[in-house]
Amino acid sequence: MAKISGQEDFVYVWTLGVEGLGDGQDKLVTVSVNPEADDYGKVRHVTSVGGRNEAHHSGFTDDRKYLWAGGLDTNKIFIFDVYSDPAKPTLVKTIDDFVSKTGGVVGPHTPYALPGRMLWTALSNNQDHGGRTALVEYTNEGEYVDTYWIPTDDNLQGAEKTGQYADGYGYDIQVLPRRNMMLTSSFTGWSNYMMDFGQMLQDKEAMKRFGNTMVVWDLHTRQPKQVLDVEGAPLEIRCAWGAENNYCFTITALTAEIVLIEEDDKGGWKAEVVGTVANPSDVPLPVDFSISSDDSMIWVNTFMDGTTRGYDITDPHNPKLAHEQYIGEQINMVSSSWDNKRLYYTTSLLANWDHKGEKDVQFMKLMHWDPETKTMEEQFHIDFYKEKLGRAHQMRFGAYSLYGKQAKHESDADAQLALTQEK
């Protein structure tokens, strides 16, 4: 999708329901974030989807008219219309045959927009609930297209195994279209991500079941080309925005390393550790990270200590810590605004992995970042437990201006009138 600049109007927060809290359902929570709005910093709208599905990641179609969101446990995919009224998304379709249609894929994780298509990564399978998994392709209308299993030692599918691993695990996805390159990372299977976190840490066999690979694919043919060794569960992938910047980053959860993926001198790709996050021996558990739209910074969250860290990546081979700040007892997701002036934070990792008791805080925060003074100040804070919304997980940005709607600061009534006239 085209790069966007300017002020976002809304943040759509994909949220895990909590039994006995509000309606107890997973929901898409729309937060008003334009300072000109009367309800700035408040929840504008809530769309519940029925039941608890281990709500996790979401993504827009290439025209940004629909937002797809998945559930890691029930394998359901929910499709929201965010075009008709960006302030009040509506659920228009639920895909509930993901496992049967895909040939046994489990745990739809990350949706990624391609022209007329939505490509999903997944985390598991229905045979052993382990980490072996696949990519799944749909049309924008929600029709299943194909399944692409991730290479393993016993079936490399023509890919070059460049190291010692080919585990078949999956997690995130990014593409560099100009290089015809698609890149996936790896995590763990259903039997681990649905297990209690403390119990899993004590289970030696469970701790062996984490991914150590990234796969380079031919974007157009969907064929795997290389399997790269990246040990320690490489999670999110963020690729540079600049037209000449042909590189991506990942962060490893278990070893807390910053890894650069770039072209080698043989026509392929390579992965290189270029830094560390916090003290890896403390197992800070890096989770989400975000890259600024000018490719100058990455913001990395560590779940265990509730801290965000900003690294200067103007030299991608030598990230330098530029800022470090405690955000809350736990944090997971971070999203850098389109103009790099704001950072949004949410808290939930997985229902069974979040902190227990008083440390189980669930919020969304907006922080203002000043790159000149390298200071960060809180603008607003929404307590998702107090509002009976559940566990705040992933965020996506929306704006009236993306669809030629009326001015961002107008009232709901005026917006509705404009939409009616347009229709």
Task: Name the residue with higher pLDDT: 418 or 83.
Answer: 83
Q: Measure the CA–CA gap between 381 and 297, rounded to whole angstroms.
A: 24
* Side chain identity, residue 348: S
Confidence of residue 290 (pLDDT cuts 50, 70, 90): very high
Least confident of 101-110, 230-239, 398-407: 398-407
What is the CATH code of the structural domain delimited by 10-422?
A: 2.130.10.10
Confidence of residue 378 (pLDDT cuts 50, 70, 90): very high
pTM of the entire structure? 0.94
Q: What average pLDDT score do residues 41-62 get?
A: 97
Q: Give the start-to-end residue ranges of the domains of the chain.
A: 10-422
Q: What is the pLDDT of residue 71?
A: 98
> 99-139, pLDDT tens digit by residue?
999 999 999 999 999 999 999 999 999 999 999 999 999 99
- Work out the burial of residue 373: count CB atoms within 10 Å of its CB; fewer than 13 is exposed, 13-18 middle, 19 or more buried: exposed
Q: Does residue 408 have a pLDDT over 60?
A: no
Q: How far is CA 389 from the centre of its chain?
A: 20
Share of the chain above pLDDT 70, in %: 96
Q: What average pLDDT score do residues 232-240 get?
A: 98
> 68-87, pLDDT tens digit by residue?
999 999 999 999 999 999 99
Side-by-side strand order, sheet with 320-326: 286-291, 297-302, 307-312, 320-326
Q: Measure the CA–CA gap between 293 and 366, rounded to whole angstroms.
A: 17
* Side chain identity, residue 293: S
Q: What is the pLDDT of residue 417?
A: 46
Q: What is the pLDDT of residue 407?
A: 45
Q: Measure the CA–CA gap between 276 and 69, rounded to whole angstroms.
A: 31
Render 262-318 in DSSP notation, one character per residue. Answer: EE-TTSSEEEEEEEE-S-GGG---EEEEEE-TTSSEEEEEETTTTEEEEEE-SSTTS
Half-sphere exposure of 381 (CA within 13 A, CB side): 11
Name the phi and psi angles at 205, rounded to 5.
-70, -40
Q: Does residue 409 have a pLDDT over 70?
A: no
The backbone region for 215, taken as left when phi is positive above 0, alpha when psi lies in -120 to 50, beta otherwise, is beta
CA distances from 196 to 189, 190, 250, 351 (A): 13, 12, 25, 9
Asked whether the beta carbons of 305 and 326 are under 8 A apart, the reply is yes
> Any long-range contacts for 309-317 (C-beta under 8 Å, 24+ apart)?
309/277, 309/278, 310/369, 311/258, 311/275, 313/249, 316/240, 316/245, 316/247, 316/249, 316/260, 316/262, 316/274, 317/260, 317/272, 317/274
Task: Name the residue with higher pLDDT: 406 or 360.
Answer: 360
> What is the average pLDDT value for the chain, to the nearest integer?
95
Asked whether the beta carbons of 303 and 233 are under 8 A apart, the reply is no
Q: What is the pLDDT of residue 4?
A: 86
Buried b (16+ CB within 10 A) or exposed e, 13-44: bbbbbbeebbeebbbbbbbbbbeebeeebebb
Of the candidates 282, 280, 286, which has an alpha carbon nearest to the alpha carbon of residue 236? 286
Q: What is the pLDDT of residue 406?
A: 59
Residue 159 is given by DSSP the state -
Q: What is the pLDDT of residue 411?
A: 46
Side-by-side strand order, sheet with 375-383: 333-336, 342-346, 363-370, 375-383
